[in-house]
Amino acid sequence: MKPIYRHLKFAALSVSLWAGACVDRSEPEPEDQSIRPARIFLVRDAAGTVEYNFVGRVEAARSVDVTFEVSGPLARLPVREGQTIKRGQLVAALQTKDFELAVREAQVQLQLARQDLERKQRVLAQKGIARSVVDDAKSNYDLQRVRLEQARESLADARLVAPFDAYVARRYVDNFVTVRAGEKIVRLNDPDHLLIVANIPEALFATRRDDPAVMHAEFDFAPGAKFPLELFETRGEADAVAQTYEVSLSMTRPEEWNILPGMTASLVVHVEDPRANGSTLIPTSALVSADDGSLYVWILDPQTLAVTRRFVAVEVPQGNGVPVTSGLADGDMIVATGASQLSEGMKVRMLGEPSSEL
């Protein structure tokens, strides 16, 4: 057994030496020291606008709960929740037998009243009765004619039709039940015109009327899509607790998205900043002084990550940054930290995402 053990031990030692010889012992390549890490500042719109974001809810511009003006058992309820129907389409109908009988009875009573009136008018012409008797017959005839009109209206009211092209939001009752006059049957919403309702702080609500505002809605399920809005109405009284005003903004329902009342929207409002004077604030650390005393910043090319020098004109620094009056445009990316250590064409490595926060 000992010779075999020696052979096995020698084989294991040979494998170990061979594996050690295969290990890569070359020195790691040094990192390119010409690429400097830097925080990137995203230049905001220099037009002097401020963006506000609010949570809004979608509501229908027109929403009605249709009801019968007469009572009776339901005979037809063909609509379903979530269904889109056309104007004039049947929504619900009551059993009409009793209403039809009422119309027939009113027709007979009117015919009797007409015959009675005509007979008494002939007798009056012969001076066989008093004028007052004919007047009473004429009043009874007029009364029966009104009753016939009412019976016909009740028969017509036994049918409910859509007053406009609508989306069936809710069905309150089931078919074949007896409903009372005024009881809710179906809720119909206008599918083409929507409202975005949000609560606006009083500070923004008090903005001057001549300040233009650009508004649009955004939805989580439609990334990147912006839906234009127009002011519809505002509530004239503030909420007693939050001191906010309810604002309704109209939005045309897009064809590519099934946006329905009850959904949550993000309301984005751009208004003119009364404090803006056409300048853009940038971090003080982004400015570099040239030999002649002029100032410049390093502009980052997002494709190549290389920087180029651009001279800018500035004003007196403020507490949160330096106002730049020329040389920068909305969307420019500038190096915010380590700018003094860069040179023309040098590449940088971005620390995080570009931000417009000072």
Q: What is the rounded average pLDDT for all residues in the chain? A: 85
- Say if residue 30's pLDDT is above 50: no
- Say if residue 277's pLDDT is above 80: no
Report yes or no on 117 lying in a domain.
Answer: yes
Which amino acid makes up residue 259? I
Claim to verify: residue 262 and residue 300 sit in the same structural domain: no
Buried/exposed 136-172: b ≥16 CB within 10 Å, e otherwise = ebeebbeebeebbeebeebbeebebebeeebbbbebe
Taking a C-beta distance cutoff of 8 angstroms, is the pair 250, 232 a contact?
Answer: yes
Taking a C-beta distance cutoff of 8 angstroms, is the pair 64, 188 a contact?
Answer: yes
Domain that holds residue 152: 96-157
For 65, other C-beta atoms within 10 Å of its C-beta total 14
Higher pLDDT, 222 or 239: 222
Q: Give residue 70's pLDDT band: very low, low, confident or very high (50, 70, 90).
A: very high
Q: What is the CATH number of the domain that holds 142?
A: 1.10.287.470
How confident is the model at residue 20, as a pLDDT?
44
Claim to verify: residue 237 and residue 299 sit in the same structural domain: no
Pick the last residue of a domain from 272, 303, 338.
272
How far apart (Å, rounded) are the C-alpha atoms in residues 211 and 277?
Answer: 14
Report yes or no on 6 lying in a domain.
Answer: no
For 83-94, write each residue's pLDDT tens digit.
Answer: 999 999 999 999
Report yes or no on 173 lying in a domain.
Answer: no
Q: Give residue 47's pLDDT band: very low, low, confident or very high (50, 70, 90).
A: low
Report yes or no on 249 lying in a domain.
Answer: yes
Claim to verify: residue 245 and residue 286 sit in the same structural domain: no
How confident is the model at residue 161, as a pLDDT?
96
Claim to verify: residue 337 and residue 307 sit in the same structural domain: yes
What percent of the chain has a predicted confidence (pLDDT) above 70? 84
How far apart (Å, rounded) are the C-alpha atoms in residues 268 and 295?
Answer: 35
Claim to verify: residue 228 and residue 250 sit in the same structural domain: yes
How confident is the model at residue 71, as a pLDDT?
96
Report yes or no on 137 lying in a domain.
Answer: yes
